[in-house]
Amino acid sequence: MQLNLSLAEDRKLNLQNEIFERIRLMILDGRIKPGEALPATRTMSTQLQVSRNTMTIAYDRLRAEGYIETRRSVGTFVSSQLPDSALYTPAAASSTSAAHHKSAELMLAAPPLRSQAIVNPHHNKLTVDFWVGRPDPHSFPLKAWSQLIAKRLLAPGSNLTEYRDPCGVVEFREQIARHVRRARGIIATRDDVFVIGGCQDGLNLICRLLVKEGTSAVIETPCYQGAAFLFESFRAKLHPVPVDEKGIRVDQLPGVKNAIVYVTPSHQYPLGVTLSLERRLELLNWASQTGSYIVEDDYDSDFRYHGSPLTALKGLDRSDRVIYLGTFSKCMGAGLRLGYAILPSAMRDAGRHMKALMNNGQPWLEQAALSDFMSNGSYVHHLRRIRRRYMARRDALLEALNRHFGECRTLGAPAGMHLAWQLPDKLPAAADIARAALARGVGVYTPTSGGSTFLGEDLRGDRIVILGFSSLTEKEIETGIARLAVAIKDMMS
């Protein structure tokens, strides 16, 4: 058996990454189908005239990211549940119509489009789902919200019929500026605040302002897929920098200038670590020396369970190099599609134009209602309430893990809505555990299936399980971990 694959002479990636990327694309565009067998590493190394070790590394990475699976004594196969199979461009799907081929050609001229795993495809089949980043549906302040919406609808004036400032409702922006000053140490006025449709929308705004083909985009590895894939779609040149227990390794920042740096300093996605103060200052210094901009994605910083949060990078920024992104998706609900960007002053005018070009602004009604919710004190009260609730769930998860598996090493527990469990050597690989859990009606995730991506040589994803806890009750958490323990025991016996 052979794969129809040859390597380009003018390779931009190293050998194992090139092979990984080629095979990944063949899987994603359907040239090799889920369940289909792949040649052995020995066969491939002979075919491509590369070392067996190179082939093994490429296969290991495909396996760690969930594209392939190995069945002991049988062989290697394309995974039946691909991490982003549902997300790939339809351009590559086979069709005989001429029109389709034409659009396929157009789309193929663009880089392969992938999008982040944001909805769990298996959710309905699961009894307990540790999917990441989901607020508790019962905690949404429905009564207060419907009253505020109704009140605004009684006297909408021309707000429902007229265009307004694309940057957002003024009083809402004022409330946001007050909130980030108190909660994140950011000094901003309402003019600095842009209302956006969540962090993802903000990233698009930033890319449209700053990124063109070849722009250096420095990202964490592992990195939130929504950011990495977006930069990829703009044909940025990605520079992955590893993350350790203190956050992004600033000593490994690349020697580039005028870059865009994407980081999640409060609670790194997906490892959950917090960027240390020392590294924050070094990163800011690097950005100012290299003329780069830092994008601070502060997606879940409202949830810190121990100590006070570190001041946001934006709050420490003396050179106006940080673009801050905040979202109401985690603390209120992702269905609202509301968030905010705080831009450096040099980008404000361009930002206003771009916001108008993109969408003429977000819906008025929700902005107005949320502004009222914040100004009457309900928002702070709501945050306090859900923080307590999530902390109890986090504790229940840690307790259940330790009880069923012995002392567990986790990352990210002091904050956020998920944690990363570092598997002990004696347990199987994360993707195998996730598959066994799924068969028992429990959703647990690898970094890749949970919406992040490892780049470069980093293979740690194989040994990490991601567990979201915010939308599950303590009882559900206990049931889920107990079932997971049985699933793993069965696998190992």
Q: Please give the residue ranges that form the binding site for ligand PLP (CB under 6 A).
A: 133, 198-200, 224, 226, 264, 269, 297, 299, 327, 329, 334, 339
Report the alpha-carbon distance of residue 5 to residue 29 in Å, rounded. 14
Which of 226/344 has CB closer to ligand PLP?
Answer: 226
Structure token digits, residue 309: 């949060």
| Nearest-approach distance from CB 270 to ligand PLP, in angstroms | 8
Side chain identity at 316, as an amino acid letter? L
DSSP string, 437-467: HHHTTEE-B-TTTTTEE--TT--GGGGEEEE
Tell me which residue has its CB nearest to ligand PLP. 198
Which of 40/334 has CB closer to ligand PLP?
Answer: 334
| Nearest-approach distance from CB 395 to ligand PLP, in angstroms | 22
Report the alpha-carbon distance of residue 468 to residue 472 in Å, rounded. 8
| Nearest-approach distance from CB 166 to ligand PLP, in angstroms | 18
Q: What is the CA radius of gyration of the chain?
A: 23
Helices and strands per DSSP (H, E), number in the chain? 15, 18
Which of 133/166 has CB closer to ligand PLP?
Answer: 133
Which of 198/480 has CB closer to ligand PLP?
Answer: 198
Structure token digits, residue 248: 């992004």
DSSP-derived secondary structure letter, 133:
T
Please state the separation of Cα 246 from the chain's center in Å.
Answer: 19
| Nearest-approach distance from CB 212 to ligand PLP, in angstroms | 23
Which of 230/484 has CB closer to ligand PLP?
Answer: 230
Structure token digits, residue 379: 């928002």
Which of 59/299 has CB closer to ligand PLP?
Answer: 299
Which of 16/327 has CB closer to ligand PLP?
Answer: 327
| Nearest-approach distance from CB 420 to ligand PLP, in angstroms | 13
| Nearest-approach distance from CB 281 to ligand PLP, in angstroms | 22
Which of 26/196 has CB closer to ligand PLP?
Answer: 196
342, 323 contact by CB (below 8 A): yes
| Nearest-approach distance from CB 350 to ligand PLP, in angstroms | 22
Q: Point out which residues pair with 78 in neighbouring strands.
A: 68
Residue 269 C-beta-side C-alpha neighbours within 13 Å: 28
428, 94 contact by CB (below 8 A): no
Which of 329/449 has CB closer to ligand PLP?
Answer: 329
Q: Point out which residues pair with 327 in neighbouring strands.
A: 339
| Nearest-approach distance from CB 219 to ligand PLP, in angstroms | 11
Rounded to 5°, the CA angle 81-82-84 comes to 135
| Nearest-approach distance from CB 267 to ligand PLP, in angstroms | 8
| Nearest-approach distance from CB 65 to ligand PLP, in angstroms | 18
Short-list 416, 162, 423, 442, CA closest to 265: 416
Q: Where are the alpha helices (DSSP H) in 339-473?
A: 348-359, 364-375, 378-405, 430-439
Structure token digits, residue 152: 């605004």
| Nearest-approach distance from CB 447 to ligand PLP, in angstroms | 12
Which of 224/454 has CB closer to ligand PLP?
Answer: 224
Which of 240/339 has CB closer to ligand PLP?
Answer: 339
Which positions ≥6 away from 353 have C-beta within 8 Å? none
312, 184 contact by CB (below 8 A): yes
Given the structure tokens 């095979």, which residue do they identify? Answer: 23
Report the alpha-carbon distance of residue 157 to residue 145 in Å, rounded. 20
Largest CA distance in the chain: 74
Which of 44/195 has CB closer to ligand PLP?
Answer: 195
CA distances 448 to 224, 230, 277, Å, are: 9, 16, 28
Report the alpha-carbon distance of residue 403 to residue 464 in Å, rounded. 19
Given the structure tokens 């670590």, which residue do they identify? Answer: 273
| Nearest-approach distance from CB 67 to ligand PLP, in angstroms | 22
Report the alpha-carbon distance of residue 410 to residue 418 in Å, rounded. 10
| Nearest-approach distance from CB 312 to ligand PLP, in angstroms | 15
Which of 66/198 has CB closer to ligand PLP?
Answer: 198
